[in-house]
Structure 1
Amino acid sequence: MQNDLNMWQARWIWGGGAVSPRNEWRCFRKTFFYDNANGSASLKLTADSRYILYVNGVRLGRGPVRSWQSALSYDEYDLTGLLIPGAHNTIAVLVNHYGIPTFQYLRGRGGLLVQLETTGENPQVVLVTDGTWKTAVYEGMNPFTARMSCQLPFVESFDARVQDEAWTGCGYDDSHWESADELGTAGMEPWTGLVPRDIPMLTEEPVYPVRVEELSRVRPRSWGTVLDLRNHFVPNSQHHANNVQFTGYLATVIRTKAATKATIGIPDGGRTSVSISLNGNWLDTSGWYGEMGERYLDVELAAGDTFLLMDLKGTIHGHGFHFGIHSEEAFQLLSPLGASATTPFMGIGPFSSFEEAVEGQTWDPEPAGYLRARGIAGVGDLENFRDWIRPFSREHVSDEDLFGLFVWTPEKTRLAVPHTLQNAVMANTASAIIPVFPGADTEIVIDFGREYSGYVEFEVEAAGGTILDLYGFEYMRNGWRHHTYQLDNTLRYVCREGKQRYSSPIRRGFRYLAVAVRNASGPVRLHRVNLLQSNYPVAQVGRFHSSDPMLNDIWEISRHTTRLCMEDTFVDCPAYEQVFWVGDARNEALVNYYLFGGSEIVKRCLRLVPGSRFQSELYVDQVPSGWNSVIPNWTFFWITACAEYVQFTGDTDFAAEMYPHVRSTLDAYRQRLDEHGLLNMKGWNFLDWAPIDQPRDGTVAHQNMFLAKALDTGAFLADYTDRTGGAELRRQAEELKAAINRRLWREEKQAYVDCIHADGTFSHVFSMQTQVAAFLAGVPDGEKLKRVADMIQSPPAGFVQIGSPFMSFFYHEALAKLDRYDLLFADLRSRYSEMVDEEATTCWETYPKPLEERAHPLELTRSHCHAWSAGPGYFLGRHVLGVRGDSDGWSRVIVEPQIGSLDWARGAVPLPGGGRVDVSWQADKGKRTIRIRVEAPAAVELQVIPPEGYTASVEEVRVSE
């Protein structure tokens, strides 16, 4: 990709003095006289971490797309017609610098780079970022908020009383703002490379709710906060997103005027073990209660000061520690260190910690210093632990736990929803008056009808100081909500007086939106609420309809899921992660080809992966990310996806571009072969959410099998540029397959064992996952091949069965390879009908657990929208419609429908260069005849193959180019 630093005259700028401030929102603006008569101009910009651009008060776009800082993406906007010649114009940019790494961003430093150029015969640079720009902190946005999740940055809390949007337009007086600091030229560290955006801008399509689902009068718990235990106890963790482990204590003082009953709550504690001491008395942890991710403990507080000590130990990936207290009596929290402390909390420890925690790691969670500290009973005992004590800094303590306000409601009364309240969900109608209750809050739940992902907008009229808290979640039934613990999907908006509009700058995914009205001193009128649905821009070219309504519904939820999970990369889910998982994206790319035909997003995803080489020569499993994590299979699936992209698009230059990276990582994996010729390594040796034996250390069978397949696939890519290398890779693949057959085939079971443990012992576990991997990788031959094929068609009862829709994709590939379409379609119906029957509008991450294994009867899955599960969108187009490419770039297409139990089907499959193949067929099973109609561009060479045993009447219709 182009990386031309010489074209940049602009300089990086920032303000405020801090290099990488935590969750800072900063405004930049420049007013200038524009004298280009024809008004033709182009603006280039990028920022660290994210920006929103305004020109003369009009919001134009958001960016940049996720990218490595060594190849930072910049955006370009055509400002023709937006700038006013012969007048003063204003460019304004709102930048959010995260100040922490996430799963889509590595920590850099705060920065903005903008360059405005005229276009035409004699282009000129007319405006650049430099020290003449003005900047100020975006005061309305509270920087002291919780992380949304370990994968994402921060919760949004905006006070409209101290900030309006006038600063984005002309005429605003910015004389009180500071001048921007010049940091350096384009190409400075850490942004050593700048490349143009390689995909279009994402969509922003208004969608509106369908109804107000609930109305309630609520009284939430009294007080709550969210603490960043991770960055406090392991300070260097602010520079990476890896798991950490620690052992330590949290202390504060609770002051009450009278003795009272209280509840201490942890509404979202994650994987942190917690026990509590009050004035040195350790409470019985068997008294904890709460549903799923919530923990509550009822206590008695004496009048005066109570010294609270929390024993904390465990693993934290980045999500905050939610902590609250509820009491009918007033209380306050004080620091044990006195009035000079900036927060009520102090930490004692850590007494042991790991900066990169992995499962099974040996560490001592109870060292001697930690055990002695359990005896602390009050402030007077702290002197002996002075070297361990550190107050919590202001940036590690959130002002409010919004998630806790919604999930911890000691009093809640459901009310009938008046018809007039439904005006809240209708565009361009009368507004809805939200009822207000003295001494309590009002909560409504708005149903958008299906899951969406984007930016919440609303228009409200209220008294100044009225608080609107919003909370998005994915599923509810019979009044029960499935809270996605470890996701703080909330927003706070503090109203100014009167009518006002707000458009959230933070992406979030949900189906249901709870809106709580708090602190209202007068009527609250909701004029409008909607979402700007934002995704990669694709036309919905693919179609599928058949005689089976269930398959039609399954195809539709697959389509909607895939669209929601196409952002600036493929992502796993639009709600709690929004992460480009490399292995997930291989399957998502195939589904996308059959639904939308998008290729540029695939290319961008594939190109991002080798950028992680500085983190690991094995390549990281989610990129770009501050979590240095490797799932070997995800790298192997990336190699497969590279080859499938070449096959779909015919882009042989891409094969040549990727082959050196593919070869490099394959060589790195081969260096980890043991004396038996098998991959034997420590790592996240993962394939499926199922009880298969896939230890973090040892020889994992499915991993070796997919490595063999990756070697074969690497050879395919080599054929475009390095035939000698291709022959070598094929030889290596055959050697690995032979080693697998020698060591991992167990005669007593006539199957491949799951693994050999690090101590050399063979696993006792046999799984369908391992047999499927062996078959797809071409490992078995002869009698072994027949046995494996039989197992795939009739899974043995004693084997671990397929555990997730993701693994089902590979199982369905194996069934198709065996021409067992009857089993494939039956499994699709059986598995996905559970989702459709539950009124799912998107595909779930996992299949439902058995009822006896659920934490709640309605706990159906974890994520309710997960693109790794959208495989039916691919299989129905490829096999029921029967469309597949027979050449790189699909210049030749085969149409070979598989009718199964269907009587008819029709639909469309996109072509890689544009256009589509329309297919319709109708079968008469009694007469064994079928009518097939295919419509395709004239340039496409077609071959229509009727089902075996059927006499076909074929109509081919050609569309001129």
Structure 2
Amino acid sequence: MKKYTSGIRRFLLGALLVQSVASFAQQATWIYYPGDFEIWLSNKMQNRRTERGSFFPPFWKLDNHYVLINFHKVLDLSAAEEVDVYVEGEYNIKLDTRLLPGKPARITLPAGKHVLDMKVFCQDRVPAIYLKGKTFVTDGSWQVTFEDKEWIDATGKVSDQSGTIWQPAATGGFNNPLQPPSAYRLPVTPAFAVKKEQVPQGQLLDFGKETFGYIRIHGLKGKGNLSLYYGESREEALATETCETLDRLELNQPQAKDSVLPLTKAFRFVQLQPAAGVSYDSVSMLYEYADVKDKGGFRCSDEEINRIYDVSKYTLRLATREFFIDGIKRDRWVWSGDAYQSYLMNYYLYFDSATVTRTLLAQRGKDPVTSHINTIMDYTFYWFLGIYDYYRYTGDSSFIKLCYPRMQSLMEYCLGRRNKEGLMEGLSGDWVFIDWADGLSKKGEVSFEQLLFCRSLETMALCAGIVNDNKQQQTYNQLATDLKGKLFNWYWNNSKQALVHSRINGQPTDHVTRYANMFAIFFNYLNEQQQQGVKKQVLLNNQVPAITTPYMRFYELEALCALGEQAYVLKEMKDYWGGMLNLGATSFWEEYNPAKKGAEHYAMYGRPFGKSLCHAWGASPLYLLGKYYLGVTPVAAGYGTYTVTPALGGLKWMEGEVPTPGGNIQVYCSTTEIKLQSPIGTGTLRFKSKSKPASSEGTIVAKGNQEYELVLEKGKAYRVKYTAL
């Protein structure tokens, strides 16, 4: 607490009376303008990236928080109260439009109905307040605005602020008056190298696996330079001229002391090269981590799949920081496409809503919209998809209501960039990404972009319904219907049984890629005949260009699972992710090509060690195993209703837990038995059996073709005897 207190005294104006949180009779929290903390925090985090010691900021527009906020509360007290005041920034306080003198650290609120306003100005941090009396506190019932439109006429009368647009104040769980939002830090814990090796110029440390944090040097002293070279591989740490990250310290320190380097780094290996006059006793690290808890889990009869699951968990944990980021070594930015996959994995492992909403708000930034998110067209659409899935898994309508105006303005930007055919085509400043793939055309009207655009319009319609914007709901639904019609009228090729890749100059090409076709499957845009055509002619066709990034393998394998190809996907997981494990991977990579040899695996972007060996999109087995093997999927928002469709895919048995807003759904499945229990909603178990199944609870209904269903009530344990096909 002492280190926080010394820091807070520098910027908590008026906090003259410090009172223990435990002594308060009612919980109070720091409040601020919604989305501003997330934007401020993302700016701090994304501008920590360095390459070989050079500052390397993002290359898209960074918005800022609002620097002047009015906090507003109408109160009605049964008795007068003394209220303690804590503030981030310069401030004033008005009670019933009368300005209180000075910067009071404690105010007296009289009994009865009153109006309290506080204006706070702060540039380097988010304007925030924390007030606490006996019953009166700052919480989510307050209102905030960045533009109160207040004016005073010639008689001295204050306006009634009728033009003010108020927002509910944001709360982020900052409940200690001495630890405001700006004090937010990820926790750290000590960790130590498992191996030390003398190399020609110094010492090489091996921490045993991919890790992330601050290097701590014990007993450091001397005059001269100390160079540190970081590597996700041994080869990288030894490559002093080409490793991606390094530190060079200039010392003039006659007395030995412990030093913690100021910036976090990703590494497994660290090479230290001290000058002749520099020495140290030992080196350790402070491992930095997000304090999220594993809630979901998976185990099965195949130990290699268990290892893949465990390394996927560790990969996602490393890439879960203040936000869901891409990779921990190189970018460390909030990329929308990368984060979207992390959201899905999160729903089957952490079910941590705070990191999802924090990331979505940071990505969206402020109005006006001047470019696509991360400058990438498809990444804008992934942002909408992230909103869609967040509501489906959590049922949190309050976040939808908060985001809806920001969704509208971003969608208006997209609608304004359509061409004369009403399709999305890359314009000046747009990056049409899709995937890292040699020779992949981005010209013309790419079917993949239209598909994502269509689902984004469907998301807008869904959210418009949640906020009772019926007119716009109809508009978005009609736009989605029209676009879907164009997609299949103009891109579907009957002879190829696939959506072609693009249209150029108004004419569809003959080229077929996997991207739009596999998304169309799990978006449920294809009829049964089209699904089987895509399965045979695209997904299982070696003549269609293969996908080599885990990023798009995620979706390719999802599409195959949605088509019932779990046995095929299990083999692909073992070959692809197992291939990385066989090369010694302790976290999963940005890209994997089994044809490469040795240090070739580490090269990307024209640099010998440019590839990230811990990349969030490499952890997709978490999602696949939870959704398509354990088979748990929400139907109504927040698991009001859900389905469980277990699929062994060649496994002898599997068991696991899938987190929901109301607790974990537990699933066990073998070739002869299924056991389930859920604390939430109404579920439907769907399975196939060679023999007539029997259940200890409920009534099994035969659906024909050896398919059966059983309704699952919350709180009940079910056991089904059956014979797997």
Kindly tell me the number of residue pairs found equivalent between the two proteins.
Answer: 585
Specify whether residues 125 and 104 from structure 1 end up closer, same or farther in structure 2 by C-alpha distance, changes over 3 A only. farther
Query: What's the CA shift for 1:551?
Result: 0.9
User: Equivalent of 2:600, from 843, 849, 856?
Assistant: 856
Give the structure 2 partner of residue 359 of structure 1.
none
Q: Provide Cα deviations, 1:891-928, integer angstroms capped at 9, x if missing partner.
A: 44433321111111122222224x322323332xxxxx
Give the letter for the 2:254 counterpart.
Answer: E
Cα deviation, residue 552, structure 1: 0.7
Deviations 1:900-957 (A, max 9, x none): 11111122222224x322323332xxxxx22x333443x5544443444366566789
> Percent identity over the alignment?
23
Provide the secondary structure at the position in 2 that maps to 1:719.
Answer: helix
C-alpha separation between the residues in 1 aligned to 2:434 and 2:43? 32
Match of 1:917 in 2: 665
Which residue pairs with 1:886 in the alignment?
635
Matched, 1:755 2:502: yes
User: What amino acid is aligned across from residue 671 of structure 1 in structure 2?
Assistant: G
Cα pair 2:498 2:538 within 8 Å, conserved:
no
1:870 to 619, 630, 646: 619
In structure 2, the partner of 1:490 is: 247
Q: 2:675 aligns with which of 924, 928, 933?
A: 933
Aligned to 1:572: 326
Letter in 1 for 2:187: E
Residue 533 of structure 1 aligns with an amino acid whose one-letter code is: E
Q: Deviations over 1:323-372 (max 9, x none)?
A: xxxxxxxxxxxxxxxxxxxxxxxxxxxxxxxxxxxxxxxxxxxxxxxxxx
Alignment of 1:467-486 (within 5 A): 467-476=225-234
Q: CA RMSD in A?
A: 4.2
Deviations 1:585-609 (A, max 9, x none): 1110110111111011111222233
**2:637 match: secondary structure:** coil
Q: Structure 2 matches for 1:210-359, cutoff 5 A?
A: 210-218=193-201
| Alignment-derived partner of residue 121 in structure 2 | 187
In structure 2, C-alpha distance between the alignment counterparts of 1:444 and 1:562, rounded to whole Å: 30
Question: Aligned to 1:844, what secondary structure does the other structure show?
Answer: coil
Q: Which residue of 2 aligns with 1:903?
A: 652
In the alignment, the residues of structure 1 paired with residue 481 and residue 635 of structure 2 have an alpha-carbon distance, to the nearest angstrom, of 26
How far off is 1:35 after superposition?
Answer: 7.7
CA distance in 2, matches of 1:905, 1:808: 23
Aligned pair 1:633/2:378, yes or no? yes
Q: Is the 8 A contact 1:768 1:792 kept in 2?
A: yes
Whether the 8 Å contact between 1:754 and 1:765 is mirrored in structure 2 is yes
- Of 234, 256, 270, which aligns to 1:513? 270
Give the secondary structure class of the aligned counterpart of 1:834. helix
C-alpha spacing 1:850/1:765, structure 2 compared with 1 (3 Å) = farther
Q: 1:199 to 1:614 in 2, by over 3 A?
A: farther
Which residue matches 1:198?
Answer: 172
Confirm or deny: 8 A CA contact 1:467 1:495 kept in the other structure.
no
Cα 1:828–1:469 change in 2 (3 A) is same
1:571, distance to aligned residue in structure 2 (A): 0.4
The unaligned stretches of length 5 or more in structure 1 are: 1-25, 47-63, 75-97, 114-119, 132-184, 219-442, 622-628, 924-928
Show the counterpart of 1:318.
none
TM-score, L = length of structure 1: 0.54
Look up the match of 2:84.
Answer: 124
CA distance in 1: counterparts of 2:525 and 2:18, whole angstroms: 69
Residues 857 and 108 (structure 1 numbering): CA distance in 2 closer, same or farther, change over 3 Å? closer
Tell me the alpha carbon deviations over residues 769-817 of structure 1, each in whole angstroms, 9 at most, x when there is no partner.
232234344555575454223334422x332222311111221221222
Quote how far apart the aligned CAs of 1:101 are. 5.4
SS in 1 for 2:281: strand
How much does 1:717 deviate? 2.1
* Rounded Cα–Cα distance in structure 1 between residues aligned with 2:670 and 2:495: 48
2:212 maps to 453
2:207 and 2:567 mapped to 1: Cα distance?
36
Matches within 5 A, 1:820-835: 820-835=565-580
Of stretches 800-809 and 197-206 in structure 1, the one that deviates more from structure 2 is 197-206
Which position in structure 1 is the counterpart of 2:352? 598
Offset of 1:555 from its aligned partner?
0.8
Shift of residue 196, structure 1, vs aligned partner: 6.0
Provide the C-alpha distance between the structure 1 equivalents of 2:331 and 2:255, rounded to a whole number of angstroms.
36
Deviates more, 1:559-568 or 1:122-131: 122-131
Name the SS for the 1:684 alignment partner: coil
- Asked if the contact 2:593/2:601 (under 8 Å) is kept, the reply is no
Quick check: 1:803 aligned with 2:538? no
In the alignment, which residue of structure 2 is the partner of 1:620? 373
Question: For residues 465 and 68 of structure 2, what CA distance do their matches in structure 1 show?
Answer: 43
Partner of 2:516: 770
Q: 1:9-158 counterparts in 2 under 5 A?
A: 36=17, 67-68=39-40, 102=58, 106=62, 122-125=82-85
- In our comparison, the structure showing a higher alpha carbon Rg is 1
Question: 2:13–2:88: 8 Å Cα contact kept in structure 1?
Answer: no
Aligned: 1:730 with 2:446: no
What is aligned with 2:151? none
Shift of 1:642: 0.6
Note if 1:502 corresponds to 2:474.
no
How many Å separate the matches in 2 of 1:552 and 1:750?
36
**Does 1:208 pair with 2:191?**
yes
Please state how far the C-alpha of 1:473 moved relative to its aligned partner. 1.7
- Give the letter aligned to residue 540 of structure 1: D
Q: Distance in 2 between matches of 1:202 and 1:33?
A: 24
Distance 1:858 1:584, change over 3 A: closer
**Residues 805 and 846, structure 1, Cα contact 8 Å, conserved in 2:** yes
C-alpha distance in 1, partners of 2:187/2:453? 40
TM-score (norm 2): 0.70
Which structure dedicates a bigger proportion of its chain to strand?
Answer: 1
How has the CA–CA distance of structure 1 residues 637 and 744 changed in structure 2, closer, same or farther, with 3 Å as cutoff? same
Does the 8 Å contact 1:460/1:528 carry over to 2?
Answer: no
Shift of 1:823: 2.3
Note the C-alpha offset of 1:68: 4.8
CA positional deviation for 1:572: 0.5
Matched, 1:707 2:453: yes
Aligned to 1:391: none
The separation in 2 between residues aligned to 1:955 and 1:661, in whole angstroms, is: 50
Distance 2:215 2:614 in 1: 18
Partner of 1:647: 392
The match for 1:845 is 590
Residues 199 and 600 in structure 1, CA contact (< 8 A), matched pair in contact too: no
**CA, structure 1 residues 890+497, in 2 after alignment: closer, same or farther (shift >3 Å)?**
same
How far apart, in 2, do the equivalents of 1:908 and 1:569 lie?
24
How far apart are the structure 1 equivalents of 2:323 and 2:12?
A: 35
SS at match of 1:459: strand
Which whole-Å CA distance do the structure 2 matches of 1:192 and 1:205 have between them?
Answer: 24
Q: Say if 1:68 and 1:106, in contact at 8 Å, map to a contact too.
A: no
- Structure 2 CA distance for partners of 1:196 and 1:723, relative to 1, 3 Å: closer
Contact 2:337/2:379, CA 8 A, preserved across alignment: yes
Partners in 1 of 2:363 and 2:12 — Cα distance? 40
CA distance in 1, matches of 2:634, 2:528: 30
Per-residue deviation, 1:518 = 1.6
Aligned pair in 2 of structure 1 residues 819, 718: CA closer, same or farther (>3 Å)? Answer: farther
Distance between the aligned counterparts of 1:609 and 1:857, measured in 2?
31
One-letter identity of the residue aligned with 1:553? R
Query: 1:67·1:105 contact (CA, 8 Å) conserved in 2?
Result: no
CA 1:121–1:499: 2 relative to 1, 3 Å: farther
